[in-house]
Chains A and B, each alone.
Chain A
Amino acid sequence: MATIDVARRRAPASLLAASLAVTARRLGEVWAEIRRSPTALVGLGILIFFVAIALFAPLLAHYPPLARVSESCNPICPGSPPSSQFPLGTSSRNADIYSEVIWGTQISLFVGILSAIVASVVGTTVGLISGFAGGWIDEVVMRFNDIVLSIPWLVLMIIVAALIGTIDVAGLILVIGLTGWSLTARVIRAQVLSVKERMFVERARMIGSSNLHLLWRHIFPNAFPLIFANTILTVAVSILSESVLAFLGLSTPDHVSWGKIISEAYENHAILNGNALWIVVPGLCIVVLVFGFYLFGYALDEILNPRLRRR
């Protein structure tokens, strides 16, 4: 009896240790691949840089978000060019542009990542079901997807944003996420179509596994690397979408974002007024961050997707 007890108690512990060890080894392998890929390293470097800015925004920013430098010229101010006190000058709202860019990093990353997750969850679910079910379900879902794809995404976003009305951050995330899943669904469906023809799926089916079990346990894990890499690429698109929406005035009133800063700069003829940095710096931030996500996403795709792996 005593020996059985010992065996019982030790078994789960060793099981846990074993699975942790295996997971750690796999992560170790992926990390080794990342270190060998300059593309991935550059991309990761950019991402870490912006994530650090977002995390340490309270320390880096000189003023709290949406704060005015002074109340001297309410509501419209002439704005000021860059100076030692305001590295990027002040805006027509009399806000410190440098601080706005710093705070904008937070909202751009947050909205970008969360809406990419929304898009990925929806796209993956649609892709998995469509690819696995096949037949008329696949046909109906994919034709619907074609319709969504053929509507210009920007128009669709504006319509959805207008329907939702006053938009908050959650609304923004939903709008961007729910208009951005079509391509993901296509990619995942294609992967499912290929995975489901593989022998081990047939084997699992013959063992007597249910469809849900096949989909969740056998097909999803094999599509996961692609889903992951695809999500990172979607983040880039989402950040761009957020900027475009903000530039067009469809953004949250109580947050600063890069798109909104550019929009304000544009409305106030920043370049004519001698403050090009007002428009250039947030613009560069968008470009570089999106570029970072693309680099890292493509590199990860290459590392995690066995078919692209060069050996």
Chain B
Amino acid sequence: MSLPLLEVRDLVVEFATRRGTVHAVGGASFELEEGESLGLAGESGCGKTTTALSLMRLLPQNGRIVSGSIRFQGRDLATAAEASLRRVRWRQISIVFQGAMNSLNPVHRIGKQIMEPILQHEHVEPKEARARATELLELVGLPARRIDEFPHEFSGGMRQRVMIAMALACRPKLVIADEPVTALDVMIQAQILDLLERLQRELGLSMIFISHDLSVLAETCDHVAIMYAGKMMELGRTVDVFTDPKHPYTQGLVGAFPDVRGPRVMPASIPGLVPSLISPPSGCVFHPRCKFAFDRCARAEPALSEISGDRRTACFLYPEVTEVPQRPLEATTP
């Protein structure tokens, strides 16, 4: 087996805030093969977007990658110099941003905005960039004649198509779609997801989908990773994870989604609240809310371990799961 396109190992990301250090991502590990798609699922604030932004080292000023590696085509982006990152950003890895409605500058024509990454990263004439922008519009299913219109002349779904065109502008290998359909209505969601799937197939893209909506991920991803409070709880093939969830959190998450075909029952919710990421609970971050928790869960942190082929989970309910070697926590100011 050849090297995966992307291999993330024990990624730890922290934010320095006035109230203390936020442990936003605590040891994320996953890999992505060329042409594959991976879903990152979890509640808001569980570290999905932070994980994705870390891949391009685009964290806000107060965020930093503490440890771990991000191997992209064999090169570690976590430690790479800023100059070499610039060659990777957009040309190799790009993002479809969260919230298409606000990600376009209202005063510029959309063609100009699609050309922006091309002109920024490649030495091409504006005329050629414009020709590429035209092609890109057609690729994402927008009429090329609308290239000189302003964002407000487009509907939400069309603007999301523009954002996708922008992400594809420099022909990347990996596209990160951060909540690509969240603000859209269901019909448009389906169209955008179809488009993303088609593009992935036709262009041989690898994709990382970020969504809190499991149905979106079920439809689009080969693999999913379930995140909770900055930790990866479970990782596996989408079908397996959703039909036979192993981790109690995944079970709760899957159970919380109403089933259209099933009997009319209120979807179950998980009691309790997401813990503070400044002072996360000891042991397994999920143990205060877990109905299966036993004393070991509060004392030790379960490692993300393989429990069967292609299936990993971080829960002591499964005998193969070991403990994470404890990293000494830095002294946090009270």
Seen from chain A, the residues whose Cβ lies within 8 Å of a Cβ on chain B are 8, 11-12, 15, 18-19, 22, 198-204, 206-209, 213, 217-218, 221-222, 224
Query: Are A207 and B117 touching (Cβ within 8 A)?
Result: yes
Query: Are B121 and A199 touching (Cβ within 8 A)?
Result: no
- Bound CA span A217–B166, Å: 17
Query: Are B102 and A200 touching (Cβ within 8 A)?
Result: yes
Whole-angstrom distance from the CB of A3 to the nearest CB of chain B? 14
Contact of B116 among A11, A15, A209 (CB under 8 A): A209
Enumerate chain B residues within 8 angstroms of A208, measured Cβ to Cβ. Answer: 86, 89-90, 117, 120-121
Whole-angstrom distance from the CB of A268 to the nearest CB of chain B? 54
Once A22-B148, A218-B105, A221-B107 are accepted as A-B contacts, the answer to whether A207 and B116 lie under 8 Å apart by CB is yes
Query: Are B103 and A200 touching (Cβ within 8 A)?
Result: yes
Within 8 Å of chain A (Cβ to Cβ): is B288?
Answer: no
- Bound CA span A203–B97, Å: 7
- Bound CA span A208–B122, Å: 12
Contact of B108 among A8, A213, A221 (CB under 8 A): A221
Whole-angstrom distance from the CB of B164 to the nearest CB of chain A? 13
Within 8 Å of chain A (Cβ to Cβ): is B13?
Answer: no
Which residues of B93-152 are within 8 A (CB) of A?
A: 95, 97, 99, 102-109, 116-117, 120-121, 127, 130, 148-150
Enumerate chain A residues within 8 angstroms of B103, measured Cβ to Cβ. Answer: 199-200, 202-203
Within 8 Å of chain A (Cβ to Cβ): is B314?
Answer: no
From A12, A15, A208, residue with most partner B Cβ within 10 Å: A208
Query: Are A222 and B120 touching (Cβ within 8 A)?
Result: no
Enumerate chain B residues within 8 angstroms of A217, measured Cβ to Cβ. Answer: 108
Whole-angstrom distance from the CB of B174 to the nearest CB of chain A? 15
Within 8 Å of chain A (Cβ to Cβ): is B56?
Answer: yes
Enumerate chain A residues within 8 angstroms of B99, measured Cβ to Cβ. Answer: 199
Enumerate chain B residues within 8 angstroms of A19, measured Cβ to Cβ. Answer: 109, 148
Whole-angstrom distance from the CB of A228 to the nearest CB of chain B? 13
Residue of A nearest to B95 (CB): A206
- Bound CA span A185–B130, Å: 36
Whole-angstrom distance from the CB of B246 to the nearest CB of chain A? 35
Interface SS of B by simple majority? loop
Enumerate chain A residues within 8 angstroms of B58, measured Cβ to Cβ. Answer: 206
Residue of B nearest to A206 (CB): B58
Query: Are A222 and B117 touching (Cβ within 8 A)?
Result: no
Contact code string B52-78 (vs A, CB < 8 Å = 1, else 0): 000010100000000000000000000
Whole-angstrom distance from the CB of B23 to the nearest CB of chain A? 23
- Bound CA span A84–B166, Å: 73
- Bound CA span A15–B109, Å: 12
Enumerate chain B residues within 8 angstroms of A18, measured Cβ to Cβ. Answer: 148
Enumerate chain B residues within 8 angstroms of A213, measured Cβ to Cβ. Answer: 120
Enumerate chain A residues within 8 angstroms of B127, measured Cβ to Cβ. Answer: 8, 11-12
Can you sample 6 A-B contacts with CB below 8 Å? A8-B127, A198-B102, A200-B102, A207-B116, A208-B90, A213-B120
Whole-angstrom distance from the CB of B317 to the nearest CB of chain A? 40
- Bound CA span A87–B58, Å: 72
- Bound CA span A97–B68, Å: 83
Query: Are A200 and B90 touching (Cβ within 8 A)?
Result: no
Once A203-B103, A207-B90 are accepted as A-B contacts, the answer to whether A22 and B117 lie under 8 Å apart by CB is no
- Bound CA span A18–B148, Å: 7
Query: Given known contacts A199-B103, A206-B56, A221-B108, what 11 new A-B pairs fall within 8 Å (CB)?
Result: A8-B127, A15-B130, A198-B102, A200-B103, A200-B104, A202-B97, A206-B89, A207-B117, A213-B120, A221-B107, A222-B106
Enumerate chain B residues within 8 angstroms of A198, measured Cβ to Cβ. Answer: 102
Residue of A nearest to B102 (CB): A199
Residue of A nearest to B89 (CB): A208
Once A11-B127, A207-B117, A208-B117 are accepted as A-B contacts, the answer to whether A22 and B109 lie under 8 Å apart by CB is yes
Query: Are A209 and B102 touching (Cβ within 8 A)?
Result: no
Once A22-B150, A198-B102 are accepted as A-B contacts, the answer to whether A207 and B108 lie under 8 Å apart by CB is no
Query: Are A222 and B107 touching (Cβ within 8 A)?
Result: yes
Once A22-B148, A206-B58 are accepted as A-B contacts, the answer to whether A199 and B107 lie under 8 Å apart by CB is no
- Bound CA span A9–B108, Å: 24
Residue of A nearest to B150 (CB): A22
Query: Are B105 and A204 touching (Cβ within 8 A)?
Result: yes
Whole-angstrom distance from the CB of A131 to the nearest CB of chain B? 17
Contact code string B260-302 (vs A, CB < 8 Å = 1, else 0): 0000000000000000000000000000000000000000000
Query: Are B109 and A204 touching (Cβ within 8 A)?
Result: no
